């Protein structure tokens, strides 16, 4: 008998109990235990029906994905479920918590399913770059039909018990004692003469090929580059076109293709990295956190308003401070508009809108924020302005309050040093739109206290963000690496590539948009001001490309002015502009640069390899503790394609020596100022290692 699955009897009902905390994952021990217990129940003449139930806080919540790397071991899940489904005695699955992935597949292998009203079910394998590999794509469609199965499995979401009942995934919702209710349900089956009922024997409702073709078209752009969604469609289609056993064979074939793919390896890497990133190396696990029961945001602009919404969304009261009533009114109005738009889409109710708005208290006085637990400054990205704000916060905020800056590039230590409590100061770099973007790049200063670090990382999760802790440097991790791509993109265009060629290469690589489309959307004037500040601070590039500055000086600020690097006749679609082409050619001529045809491969290498090299420097300097911190920042903040796993993971996949070789090639062509490989990159390449071998 397995030590994670037990068998007992209550009258004529055999009780199979899984106890594999914390989430009853389907490891080898559980699979073996299920097989043994089902066989024991079938062999006992006194057992007429069985109930499968789990101890702890949840039903089986999925596979043990750690086994993917080390091997699954026997018995496999498919034959275990097959033995349950073909059993001669009825088996009832009793679901509480979540029945996810392999857990739901086990439940579908049972003949009946009952669930608590609080339970949820789902097949989320798509998020790991996989498909349900134990019959999920063959059994679920037989219960819910083609369209619903496509939406549920490709979407990978969780289905509440009430919806699962409506769809036919569960047979009954029960309340109170789940074990007693499931046993009673099994006893009623026996009393009614209801025997086993295998889903495999259900003939699926007819579905024409257009159902699958149309669904594939509907997800084509959003799921661009991912393999799993399209393999799932093929596998579900097999449920309608092939007999059950052949459909299962097709599912296995497609599952194994995904398991061997770089896309799934990347997505599984991200899955683990997103859990690991919350653990800050060197920070004691038992660090006591400060309480955050209320907060404040300084600045009611687009960013400040979005940050305030994060507090309200989490049910935390927040004060929104501005210097002028008109700015405050405008900020509050925008927040309300955002919430009401969300309500119109059905994601929240109008009651939720009012509840959240009530948690945001507008104010014009610093005195009103003196007692809050955390203040996040979100004013203009200018060091002098931020210093003034922090001097004021230092004078009014209570002792122990956390003082955070939303700066995206500025020195957090310099900001902290204008206060009498640098230990309480930290960077919290939100990404725009702040109420939507998942990433929160938290920046520890030289003197930031450990309990502040622990509190902010915990708070990040509380407000629905993925927090990554980094150190102080120009641009931190994300913008520092982005600067390399931005610089090379501008150089490439000056040398003869067109903006649309550069953008297409980045889009085809997997970014949601190219460098220049993104710059136009963000506002070219924003980058212009950043470059002005950098030049004032003496941060001058060896080669200064000025063509984008000249575009801004023509009054072309991007989408908001219907003209930037591109022109926008509908305010949204970028159109190459001959005016810009001529301006670029003129700037190149003035700089003595002979324009030439540039290959797509050169564009890819020059845009992405300098980012990798900068990431290596960031690791060497300890700005990021691990390559996974960099990958999570770029996946969640900058649109790096998830199916490539982040820049550092991708670099390992393509081989670091290839990057070093390209650097040598470009050093010969352009000089080694920008083409000197980081010592860490060169060392790892020479040793035949990758960043994840550190």
Q: Bridge partners of 94?
A: 114
d(CA 250, CA 526): 52
| 558 DSSP assignment | B
Q: What one-character-per-residue DSSP string does 104-136 give?
A: HHHHHHSSEEEEETT-EEE--GGGGT---TTTH
| 477 DSSP assignment | T
* Alpha-carbon separation of residue 24 from 54, 83, 102 (angstroms): 7, 20, 11
Q: What one-character-per-residue DSSP string does 575-595 give?
A: B--HHHHHHHHHHHHHTTPPP
Q: Bridge partners of 439?
A: 466
In Å, how far from its chain's centre is CA 135?
27
Q: Which of 105, 322, 381, 495 is catalytic?
A: 105
Structure tokens given for 455: 């509190």
Contacts of 669 (CB under 8 A, 6+ apart): none
Side-chain-facing half-sphere of 675: CA atoms under 13 Å: 18
d(CA 274, CA 359): 30
Q: Which of 85, 125, 251, 441 is catalytic?
A: 125
d(CA 631, CA 612): 10
Q: Give the chain's length.
A: 694
| 511 DSSP assignment | -
Side-chain-facing half-sphere of 89: CA atoms under 13 Å: 22
Q: 105 catalytic, yes or no?
A: yes
Q: What one-character-per-residue DSSP string does 368-398 give?
A: GGTT-SEEEE---S-HHHHHHHHHHHHHHSP
Q: Are 426 and 456 in contact (CB under 8 A)?
A: yes
Q: 125 catalytic, yes or no?
A: yes
Coil, strand or helix at 56: coil
Which residues are catalytically annotated?
105, 125
């Amino acid at each position: 008998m397995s030590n994670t699955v037990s068998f007992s009897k209550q009258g004529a009902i055999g009780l199979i109990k899984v106890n594999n905390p914390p989430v009853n994952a389907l490891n080898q021990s559980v699979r073996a235990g299920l097989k043994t217990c089902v066989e024991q129940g079938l062999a006992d003449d006194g057992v007429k029906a069985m109930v499968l139930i789990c101890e702890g806080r949840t039903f089986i919540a999925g596979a043990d994905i750690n086994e993917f790397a080390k091997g699954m071991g026997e018995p496999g899940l498919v034959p275990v479920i097959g033995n349950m489904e073909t059993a001669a005695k009825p088996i009832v699955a009793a679901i509480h918590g979540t029945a996810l992935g392999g857990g739901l597949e086990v439940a579908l292998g049972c003949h009946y399913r009952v669930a608590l009203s609080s339970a949820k079910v789902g097949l989320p394998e798509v998020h790991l770059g996989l498909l349900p590999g134990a019959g999920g794509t063959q059994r679920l469609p037989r219960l819910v039909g083609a369209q619903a199965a496509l939406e549920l499995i490709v979407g990978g979401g969780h289905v509440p018990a009430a919806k699962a009942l409506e769809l036919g995934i569960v047979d009954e919702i029960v309340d109170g004692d789940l074990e007693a209710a499931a046993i009673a349900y099994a006893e009623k089956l026996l009393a009614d003469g209801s025997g086993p009922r295998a889903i495999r024997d259900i003939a699926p409702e007819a579905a024409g090929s257009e159902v699958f073709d149309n669904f594939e078209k509907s997800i084509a752009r959003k799921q661009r580059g991912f393999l799993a969604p399209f393999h799932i469609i093929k596998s579900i289609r097999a449920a309608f076109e092939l007999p059950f056993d052949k459909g299962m064979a097709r599912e296995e074939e497609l599952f194994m293709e995904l398991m061997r793919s770089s896309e799934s390896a990347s997505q599984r890497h991200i899955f683990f990295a997103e859990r690991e990133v919350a653990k800050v190396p060197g920070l004691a696990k038992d660090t006591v956190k400060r309480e955050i029961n209320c907060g404040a945001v300084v600045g009611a602009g687009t960013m400040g308003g979005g940050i305030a919404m994060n507090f309200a969304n989490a049910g935390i009261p927040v004060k929104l401070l501005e210097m002028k009533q008109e700015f405050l009114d405008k900020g509050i109005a925008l927040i309300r508009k955002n919430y009401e738009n969300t309500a119109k889409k059905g994601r929240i109710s109008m009651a939720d809108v009012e509840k959240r708005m009530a948690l945001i208290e507008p104010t014009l006085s610093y005195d009103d924020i003196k007692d809050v637990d955390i203040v996040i400054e979100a004013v203009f990205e200018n060091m002098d302005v931020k210093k003034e704000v922090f001097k004021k916060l230092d004078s009014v905020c209570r002792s122990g309050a956390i003082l955070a800056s939303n700066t995206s590039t500025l020195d957090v230590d310099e900001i902290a040093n204008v206060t009498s409590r640098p230990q309480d100061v930290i960077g919290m770099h939100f990404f725009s739109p702040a109420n939507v973007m998942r990433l929160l790049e938290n920046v520890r200063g030289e003197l930031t206290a450990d309990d502040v670090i622990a509190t902010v990382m915990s708070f990040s999760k509380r407000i629905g963000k993925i927090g990554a802790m980094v150190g102080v440097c120009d641009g931190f991790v994300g913008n520092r690496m982005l600067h390399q791509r931005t610089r090379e993109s501008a150089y490439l265009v000056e040398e003869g590539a067109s903006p649309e060629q550069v953008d297409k290469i980045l889009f085809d690589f997997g970014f949601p948009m190219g460098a220049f489309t993104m710059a136009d959307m963000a506002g070219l004037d924003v980058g212009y001001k950043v470059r002005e500040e950098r030049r004032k601070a003496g941060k001058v590039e060896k080669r200064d490309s000025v063509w984008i500055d000249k575009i801004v000086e023509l009054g072309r600020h991007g989408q908001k002015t219907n003209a930037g690097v591109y022109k926008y006749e509908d305010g949204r679609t970028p159109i190459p502009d001959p005016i810009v082409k001529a301006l670029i050619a003129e700037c190149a001529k003035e700089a003595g640069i002979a324009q030439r045809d540039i290959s797509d491969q050169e564009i890819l290498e020059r845009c992405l390899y300098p980012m990798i090299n900068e990431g290596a420097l960031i690791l060497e300097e300890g700005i990021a503790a691990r390559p996974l911190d960099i990958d999570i920042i770029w996946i969640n903040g900058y649109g790096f394609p998830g199916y490539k796993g982040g820049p550092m993971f991708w670099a390992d996949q393509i081989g670091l020596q290839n990057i070093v070789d390209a650097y040598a090639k470009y050093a010969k062509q352009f000089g080694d100022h920008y083409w000197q490989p980081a010592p860490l990159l060169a060392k790892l390449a020479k040793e035949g290692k990758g960043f994840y071998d550190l």
